[in-house]
Chains A and B, each alone.
Chain A
């Protein structure tokens, strides 16, 4: 029976391919939404990861960088630097808001950097200089491409005009790009020339970061300290939380679409074979045996669809950012495993339509001439 149900699938390879590709497209949509969201979420914590600090110190009550503001007196950075467990500190001023580039507002992380802490600037440059001085700005290369802005052009940060002196790589995100300005300019804007927003702490070898955070909180007044892992995780969670509902909805819609496609294919296969079903029933096959055969057909189409989806995702989705640079995609194994788990319910749901047809077929129709 299984052979009888599967052989027609493979004797009509074009029909099978079209069905499996349709399923693959809907699965790929699910993977695309998930990859885009995950890519964006990762991009939102890329600065924190690139800084590679052991501990992040911020204003008391703050535990994020995304959608947050923090102000810490600059002497606190010096105090932390004096601690025997600390190898080095670096600090930045930070503001998140819109930056007008090429006449369009871009929601950005604006990082105010100082030459004292040179590694707090962009980690990869495409053109120009990495460390902006007063009146200067470094913007993402992708933003420059999208807006036509070049080195020497001006952009606006709130009420300040800044000259583009560098184009950085890996700093663009649709939700929040990273723009680097001088600490002086951002200090003027935030009226906080003697303050920092975040202090990055680099511990001496062998020092436990968790113990260091406790020590900093104990010894430095009105600050919060988090290990780098906890800080990044906290920001990533916030980013994911913001889009999780949308992604869940998209995933559900994509899965429903895939179910509908598999159901339609399974139903049309069964509907076209009504006479053969009647023969199968006449010769002694039961409804449940025939239903199982229909389920196997649905499973084959769904599994094949998923395999195609994996293929599409790893080729097309990996290639997409090179032609659409503003998209950050992160294709991960768990996106496929969650879909693989969904396969059996999808196939069962899809074959329910076929089950109704199977039950209704009258074996007497085998006598029709």
Chain B
């Protein structure tokens, strides 16, 4: 039986107090096993990132407990929590968050000094990840010379360098075009399948649903069952992809009409030449 690596028991997070209290996450229970790719979806402001931050030991829940690889993190001190993050969790962010002054390989090795192997010991793992993610030729490149897809692949390699059992990804395809987004999703899918990592991904991207093992629907801070009829498909005017209007976070208004996009990249293109895309829909 596959081991549960990440568990949340009735966790809640409230911000503010009294009448201004906001319940960002309210009584969430979940269990994630090794090798699972789990999506957290839901409308904007539903508490997805707050939940991800708590599961990543970056934010303490107001109540409830989080167990990472058998350790209840509510009793762990800040310094030990940082060490636990370094060894158990890999983060992939929407904005890539690479360190500007470091090359691709230096970025990947950045968390390695906190891992069990150390920076020198992780060199073999680095080569393996560079090959696997098709970054060997770009290993000496600085982030400002990398494409969006390359940046996200570097960020994924960085998340994997310490061989963490859990990968938390926050909108990893949000800043990528559809082709690059597809590529990143397949990498994350392979990480779950081949490496046995538990991959928990917050996303608005409906294309990921096809490769996910489970989809958790977060609404008003609580997990709910997701009904298929809640889709409202529209077409991205830039790339022509199908986008669920109900869950989309990238949208704009032009001439009193609402336009929904699969990614912020498509939005940027639209904003540069709105007339062109409106007239060619």
Cross-chain contact B53 with A285 (CB below 8 angstroms): no
Q: How large is the interface on A (under 10, 10 to 19, 20 to 34, 35 or more residues)?
A: 20 to 34
Q: With an 8 A cutoff between CB atoms, is A334 at the interface?
A: no
Cross-chain contact A367 with B85 (CB below 8 angstroms): no
Cross-chain contact B86 with A284 (CB below 8 angstroms): yes
Cross-chain contact A286 with B58 (CB below 8 angstroms): no
The answer, among B56, B86, B97, B101, for a CB contact under 8 Å with A279, is B97
Q: With an 8 A cutoff between CB atoms, is B59 at the interface?
A: yes
Give B85-96 as 1s and 0s: 1 = Cβ < 8 Å from A's Cβ atoms: 111000101110
Cross-chain contact A276 with B85 (CB below 8 angstroms): no
Q: Which B residues are CB-close (under 8 A) to A279?
A: 93, 97, 99
Q: Which B residues are CB-close (under 8 A) to A276?
A: 97, 99-100
Q: With an 8 A cutoff between CB atoms, is A187 at the interface?
A: no
Q: Which A residues are CB-close (under 8 A) to B110?
A: 4, 280, 283
Q: With an 8 A cutoff between CB atoms, is A7 at the interface?
A: yes
Cross-chain contact B101 with A275 (CB below 8 angstroms): no
Known A1-B113, A284-B82; judge A8-B106 contact (CB<8 A).
no
Chain A residue at smallest Cβ distance from B202: A367
Q: Give B216 Cβ to nearest chain A Cβ, in Å.
A: 18
Known A283-B91, A283-B110; judge A369-B100 contact (CB<8 A).
no
Tell me the complex Cα distance, A275–B101, Å: 13
Q: With an 8 A cutoff between CB atoms, is B52 at the interface?
A: yes
Tell me the complex Cα distance, A285–B110, Å: 10
Known A363-B58, A364-B53; judge A369-B174 contact (CB<8 A).
yes
Q: With an 8 A cutoff between CB atoms, is B137 at the interface?
A: no
The answer, among B87, B91, B101, B175, for a CB contact under 8 Å with A366, is B91
Chain B, range 103-137, C-beta contacts under 8 Å to A: 106, 110-111, 113-114
Cross-chain contact A367 with B53 (CB below 8 angstroms): yes
Count of A-B residue pairs with CB < 8 Å? 70
Q: Which A residues are CB-close (under 8 A) to B173?
A: none
Give B38-58 as 1s and 0s: 1 = Cβ < 8 Å from A's Cβ atoms: 000000000001001100101
Tell me the complex Cα distance, A283–B56, Å: 10
Q: With an 8 A cutoff between CB atoms, is A11 at the interface?
A: yes
Q: With an 8 A cutoff between CB atoms, is B83 at the interface?
A: yes
Q: Which B residues are CB-close (under 8 A) to A11?
A: 101
Cross-chain contact B100 with A285 (CB below 8 angstroms): no
Tell me the complex Cα distance, A284–B110, Å: 10
Q: Give A224 Cβ to nearest chain B Cβ, in Å.
A: 69
Q: Which B residues are CB-close (under 8 A) to A275?
A: 97
Cross-chain contact B85 with A8 (CB below 8 angstroms): no
Cross-chain contact A284 with B171 (CB below 8 angstroms): no
A-B pairs, 9 with minimum CB distance: A284-B86, A8-B101, A283-B111, A284-B85, A11-B101, A284-B114, A7-B101, A279-B97, A286-B82
The residues of B with any CB-CB pair to A shorter than 8 Å are 49, 52-53, 56, 58-59, 78-79, 82-87, 91, 93-95, 97, 99-102, 106, 110-111, 113-114, 158, 170-171, 174-175
6 A-B contacts, Cβ less than 8 Å apart?
A282-B85, A284-B111, A364-B59, A366-B91, A368-B95, A369-B94
The residues of A with any CB-CB pair to B shorter than 8 Å are 1, 3-4, 7-8, 11, 275-276, 279-288, 363-364, 366-369
